[in-house]
């Protein structure tokens, strides 16, 4: 058993600093001495001193054999993985690496259509061919719910050429995938399961949270420890499960490709320390967060006109508040909350999303509840608050793989004249954030009509270079 009280990397960094070396290596701020004064004031001496690099005794993230290897082994043990890798480029880097390691150019992979753009980016990097999986979604609030196992089973039958399954677990809104059946379905056919668990780094540490993908037997799992695990923004973990169908050397090679050659030791130390905290005190910390979430849910459910939205099995520390009953959109509610000094994670057309963590307390939740009680009906509809047409247009014909389209010769042209052309970029009306066009797909009249309706109602569109979508990037003819 590894001793989870240890922090090999952080301890080695302290040891290095205790020697008070005369430093003739990067970073050039020389432990803060040449840092801009405002940065010094805000970060403090400690953070700047910890901003180290591959100095003696501090190992090398890209070929770890010392303290980073030990710290990663402790992370693997704490999260229930066979192997873990520190990420300094967020979960985005982990998702890119798992796709690069699992797939060869041209190979097919089953991908939920509502996957985060890091997955869409990974498809471009890997040159993979996506077989899109349609997510179920709540049409009332336009929230994606995940891909039902039946849809995955059908896709697996229709696409025996598929080489991997991508799963989003949980969604941004905290809605878990049917992770156990999905893993079983893919493993029955010998396929690796690659999981985007960006929002589930805390799952392994409390039984009242959804099951972790590693516990369900997933092969590769990327987690944003910075989102819910207490580490610094951009620090994440990539885990390989026991019996992983990916070659760990290929994963390490892919990480060398997508991560900086100057990884931040500050970020890596925060991973080392956050892992220790979760391993030693995770259960207690999340006990408290869950109790606070339950109390907040109760108090918010009593506010007239506010509905606390629940989906089966969801992470109870995500609060989805349907505010339409108070006569305003989610966007307007978020604005009113902000004017009262309360910042939420996300607003949709009809709802707000608040994320709770062990960092919350009675005071912060009291402010949230009080601000929600003070929400007033909006007198004037604001532009940019559209919900778009109901349903989604049929997905268009896939002509090219995302890589060929996204990296091919392209031009911007007026959306109104783009029918029949091949899209070179992703276009996802938000909400629900499910792309209606992916690079390589032919633009159909149905997609055009849908997008024009989105523009008419002022719906936000994610992905296109021209955010007004007056023009769209298509492949040059
Ligand atoms: C569902 C999902 N996947 C992946 C990511 C990427 O994670 P990171 O920001 O750590 O790169 C995010 C980030 O918001 C996300 O919401």
Strands 351-355 and 318-322: antiparallel
Nearest to 358 by CA among 282, 271, 296: 282
Instruction: Give the pLDDT score at 334.
Output: 96
Confidence of residue 384 (pLDDT cuts 50, 70, 90): very low
SS percent in the chain: helix, strand, coil, step 5: 40, 15, 45
Q: Spell out a b/e string for 250-276, using b for 16 or more CB atoms within 10 Å of the CB, else e.
A: ebbebbeebbeeebbbbbbbbbbbbbb
Instruction: Tell me the torsion sign for CA atoms 227, 233, 234, 236.
Output: negative
Q: Which residues pair with 238 in a beta bridge?
A: 85, 222
- Centre of ligand 1 to C-alpha 225, Å, is 11
Q: CB within 6 Å of ligand 1 — which residues? A: 90-92, 116, 118, 168, 172, 196, 198-199, 224, 236
What average pLDDT score do residues 299-322 get? 98
Q: What is the mean pLDDT of residues 13-37?
A: 96
Distance (Å, rounded) from C-alpha 284 to C-alpha 422? 52
* Ligand 1 mean position, distance from CA 2 (Å): 30
Atom of ligand 1 nearest to the CA of 115: 1
Whether the bond between 131 and the residue before it is cis, its omega within 30 degrees of 0, is no
Helix (H, G, I), strand (E, B) or coil at 38: helix
| For residues 362-368, average pLDDT | 96
Ligand 1 centroid vs 91 CA: distance in angstroms? 6
Q: What is the pLDDT of residue 456?
A: 86
Q: How confident is the model at residue 432 (pLDDT cuts 50, 70, 90)?
A: confident
Query: Closest ligand 1 atom, CA of 224?
Result: 10
Average pLDDT over all residues of the chain: 95
- pLDDT bin (cut points 50, 70, 90) of residue 349 is confident
Distance from CA of residue 318 to its chain's centroid?
A: 14
Q: How far is the CA of 171 from the centre of ligand 1 (A)?
A: 10
215 has pLDDT over 50: yes
Q: Which neighbouring-strand residues pair with 353?
A: 320, 346
Residue 27 is predicted with a pLDDT of 96
Q: How confident is residue 381, by pLDDT bands cut at 50, 70 and 90?
A: low
What is the pLDDT at residue 387? 60
The yes-or-no answer to whether 283-373 and 402-475 have a common fold is: no
Say whether pTM exceeds 0.95: yes
Topology of domain 402-475 in CATH is Ornithine Decarboxylase; Chain A, domain 4 (3.90.100)
Rounded mean pLDDT, 59-65: 98
How crowded is residue 132: how many other Cβ atoms within 10 Å of its Cβ? 19
Q: Report whether the peptide linkage leading into residue 363 is cis, meaning its omega lies within 30 degrees of zero.
A: no
Q: Is the pLDDT of residue 379 over 90?
A: no
Locate the domains of the chain by residue range.
Answer: 8-280, 283-373, 402-475
133-139-142 Cα angle (round to 5)? 80
Q: How many CB atoms neighbour CB 118 within 10 A?
A: 19
Q: Pick the range with the lowest mean pLDDT from 13-17, 288-292, 294-298, 386-390.
A: 386-390
Cα gap 197→269, rounded to integer Å: 21
Domain 8-280 top-level CATH class: alpha beta
For residue 460, name the pLDDT band (cuts at 50, 70, 90): confident
Q: How confident is the model at residue 459 (pLDDT cuts 50, 70, 90)?
A: confident
Q: How many angstroms is it from 199 CA to the middle of ligand 1?
A: 7
pLDDT reading at 386 higher than 70: no
Do the strands 162-168 and 108-112 form a parallel or antiparallel pair, or are they unpaired? parallel
The three-class DSSP label of residue 145 is strand
Contacts of 108 (CB under 8 A, 6+ apart): 128, 129, 130, 131, 159, 161, 162, 163
Q: Which residues of 189-221 are buried (b: 16+ CB within 10 A; e: fewer)?
A: eebbbbbbbbbbbbbbbbeebbbbbbbbbbbbb
pLDDT above 80 (res 16): yes
Residue 469 has pLDDT above 60, yes or no: yes
What is the Cα–Cα distance from 171 to 318, expressed in whole angstroms? 11
Q: How far apart, in whole angstroms, are the C-alpha atoms of residue 304 and residue 323? A: 10
CATH fold of 283-373: 3.90.1150
Per DSSP bridges, beta strands 129-133 and 108-112 are parallel
**What digits encode the pLDDT tens for the residues 89-107?**
999 999 999 999 999 999 9
In this prediction, residues 121-142 reach a mean pLDDT of: 95
Burial (CB < 10 A; 0-12, 13-18, 19+), residue 42, is exposed
Residue of minimum CA distance from atom 9 in ligand 1:
90
CA of 263 to the centre of ligand 1 (A): 19
Give the model's confidence band at 382: pLDDT under 50 very low, under 70 low, under 90 confident, else very high. low
Span 252-282, pLDDT tens digits? 999 999 999 999 999 999 999 999 999 999 9
Q: Which of 198, 235, 433 to mutate to test the pocket of ligand 1 (most atoms within 8 A of CB)?
A: 198
């Amino acid at each position: 058993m590894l001793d989870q009280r240890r922090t090999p990397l952080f301890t080695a960094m302290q040891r290095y600093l205790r020697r008070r070396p005369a430093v003739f290596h990067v970073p050039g701020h020389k432990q803060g001495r040449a840092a801009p004064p405002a940065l010094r004031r805000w970060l403090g001496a400690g953070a700047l001193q910890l901003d180290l690099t591959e100095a003696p005794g501090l190992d090398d993230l890209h070929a770890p054999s010392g303290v980073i290897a030990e710290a990663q082994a402790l992370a693997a043990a704490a999260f229930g993985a066979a192997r873990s890798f520190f990420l300094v480029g967020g979960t985005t880097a982990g998702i890119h690496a798992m796709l690069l390691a699992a797939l060869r150019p041209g190979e097919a992979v089953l991908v939920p259509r509502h996957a985060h753009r890091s997955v869409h980016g990974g498809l471009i990097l890997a040159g993979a061919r996506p077989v899109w999986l349609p997510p179920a979604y709540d049409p009332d609030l336009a929230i994606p719910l995940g891909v039902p196992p039946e849809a995955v089973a059908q896709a697996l039958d229709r696409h025996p050429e598929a080489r991997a399954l991508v799963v989003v677990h949980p969604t941004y809104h905290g809605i878990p995938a049917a992770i156990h059946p999905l893993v079983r379905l893919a493993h029955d056919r010998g396929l690796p399961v690659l999981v985007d668990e960006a929002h589930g780094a805390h799952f392994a540490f409390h039984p009242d949270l959804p099951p972790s993908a590693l516990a369900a037997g997933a092969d590769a799992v990327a987690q944003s420890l910075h989102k819910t695990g207490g580490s610094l923004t951009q620090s994440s973990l990539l885990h390989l499960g026991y019996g992983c169908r990916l070659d760990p050397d290929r994963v390490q090679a892919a990480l060398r490709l997508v991560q900086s050659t100057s990884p931040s030791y500050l970020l890596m130390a925060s991973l080392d320390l956050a892992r220790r905290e979760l391993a030693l005190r995770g259960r207690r910390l999340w006990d408290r967060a869950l109790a606070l979430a339950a109390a907040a849910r109760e108090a918010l459910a009593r506010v007239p006109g506010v509905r606390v939205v629940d989906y089966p099995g969801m992470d109870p520390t995500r609060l989805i508040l349907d505010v339409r009953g108070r006569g305003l959109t989610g966007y307007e509610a978020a604005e009113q909350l902000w004017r009262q000094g309360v910042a939420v994670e996300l607003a949709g057309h009809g709802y707000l999303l608040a994320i709770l963590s062990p960092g919350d307390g009675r005071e912060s939740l009291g402010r949230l509840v009080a601000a929600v009680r003070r929400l007033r009906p909006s007198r004037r509809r604001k532009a940019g608050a559209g919900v778009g047409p109901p349903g989604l247009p049929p997905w268009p014909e896939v002509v090219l793989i995302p890589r060929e389209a996204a990296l091919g010769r392209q031009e911007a042209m007026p959306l109104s004249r783009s029918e029949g052309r091949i899209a070179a970029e992703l276009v996802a009306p938000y909400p629900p954030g499910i792309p209606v066009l992916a690079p390589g797909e032919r633009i159909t009249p149905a997609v055009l009509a849908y997008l024009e309706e989105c523009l008419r109602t002022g719906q936000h569109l994610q992905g296109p270079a021209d955010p007004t979508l007056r023009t769209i990037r298509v492949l040059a003819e």
